[in-house]
Amino acid sequence: MPLFVTIVLDGAGVGDAPDAAAYGDVGADTLGHVVRQQAPHLPNLTRWGLGRLVDGLDGTSAPAASWGRLTERAAGKDSTTGHWALAGLVLETPFPTYPDGFPADVIAAFCNRAGVDGVLGNRPASGTEIIAELGEEHERTGQPIVYTSADSVLQVAAHVDTIPLADLYRMCQVARDEVCVGEHAVGRVIARPFEGAPGAYQRISAKRKDLSLLPPGPTLLDTLRQRAVRTVCVGKIAALFGGVGVDQEVKTAGNADGVDKTLGAIRHAADSGEPTFVWTNLVDFDELYGHRNDPAGYAAALEAFDAALPDLEAALPDDAVLLLTADHGNDPTYPGSDHTRERVPVLRFQRGAEPRDLGTADSFAAHAADVARYVGIAWDGTAPTPD
C-alpha cells in the first residue's frame, strides 16, 4: 500500500542559496544559526542525519534516513511559491510585492467593493505589531487593518466584535476575486481575525483564512488524484493550492495539532489500505518564531517536533516514506522579519531502505519527482504526468 508523507517545517532553511544576494539574504541560515546559538536537544533529528546538513549537530554517526538539500529555482521566497515548486510547478515570474504598501487605486477598489470607508495601515508589518498599534483605532472607526510583508500577500485584520468573522471573510473573498487580479494578483489574500482588549489583543489563528491564487498549471496533487492516490493536506497546504487537487483538507491549530493530525492521517491510510499522499505544513516555525525574530522559541519548537518524531516513525507501515523538508528560510537571527532565500533540507526515512546522500537538487521540484516515482508516475522534469 503506497503511503508517502511529507512534512514541511515551514521556514526551516539551511542557508547557502546561490542567489541569496539577489534577495538581500547573504549569510542567512535558519537551522544553522538556531542550532549554533541555542543548542537545542535534537536526538532524533540528529539520528536521522540532520547533522550532515547543519553544522553544530553530530554528523559522524550513520544516519537512519537519507539526507540532502533542495535549491529554489522559482522566482520568489514566499510560501505559495515554495509549495508550488515542491509540487512541481516552478514559477519563472515572481508574484507582485508591495514594500511601500498597496497603490491608492488598489485600496480604493478594495474599499468600494468591500463596503468600507477606509482602511488602516497599508504597509508591510508584523501582524501582531500592527494589530497592537492600530487595534484600538480599528475598533473605534470600524475600518479594517490592511497590511502586507515581503511576501506577495494582502492581509486584512479585524476584531471579531467590530467586523464579524463572516464579514471579514466576505471582504477577503472580494479582494481575492475582484481586487487582487491582473498585475495585482498577489499569491494570497489572508483574513486575520483577532480578539481581546487593547494591550492584550490575540490573533485567532484557528480562524485565519488563506485565499490563494489558483495554480496556473498542473501539480503533483492533480496527477496523484488522477492516478487514484488520495491526497490529504494537513495545515495550510490546501489553502496554498486553492483546494485544487486536494481530496481532504485537515485544518490545524499549530505544530502539535499538526503532528497529531498527521499521525491520524497515517493511521487511517494504514487501516484503509488506500494509496495516499499526506502533505503537512507545520506553520509555527515560520509564523510564531521566524517572523518574530525569536530563535529561542524556534529552538523549543524544534525540540518539540524532535520529541514527536519517534511516534511518526513508528506509525509508518512497512515501505511507507516519511520525508521532512521546508518551503523557504525564515532566519530568526537575521535582520528584518521576513522570509530568507535559502536551500532547504531533505531527510527521507523508509524502513528497510539504505540511507544515502541525496546530494543537492537544483530545484524544489525534485520533491514532486520523488513522490511521483514512488507511486509509479512518469516524470517529465516539470510537472508529473500519467503514464
**Per-residue model confidence (pLDDT) at position 206:** 82
CA distance 350 to 266: 14
pTM for the predicted model, two decimal places: 0.89
What residues contact residue 246 under an 8 Å CB cut-off, 6+ apart?
Answer: 221, 231, 233, 237, 238
Q: Per residue in 205-222, pLDDT tens?
A: 889 998 989 999 999 999
Q: Which three cell numbers mark 123?
A: 504597509
Average pLDDT estimate for 286-292: 92
Q: Which residue has the cell 530545484?
A: 363
Average pLDDT estimate for 71-89: 94
**Under 8 Å between Cβ of 349 and 337:** no
Q: Per residue in 166-199, pLDDT tens?
A: 999 999 999 999 999 999 999 999 999 999 999 9
* Residue 378 burial (10 A CB sphere; 0-12, 13-18, 19+): exposed
Q: Is the pLDDT of residue 387 over 50?
A: no
Q: Is the pLDDT of residue 302 over 80?
A: yes
CA distance 159 to 165: 9
Average pLDDT estimate for 145-158: 93
Q: How confident is the model at residue 336 (pLDDT cuts 50, 70, 90)?
A: confident
Q: How confident is the model at residue 384 (pLDDT cuts 50, 70, 90)?
A: low
CA distance 318 to 350: 8
Q: Which three cell numbers mark 51?
A: 547533522
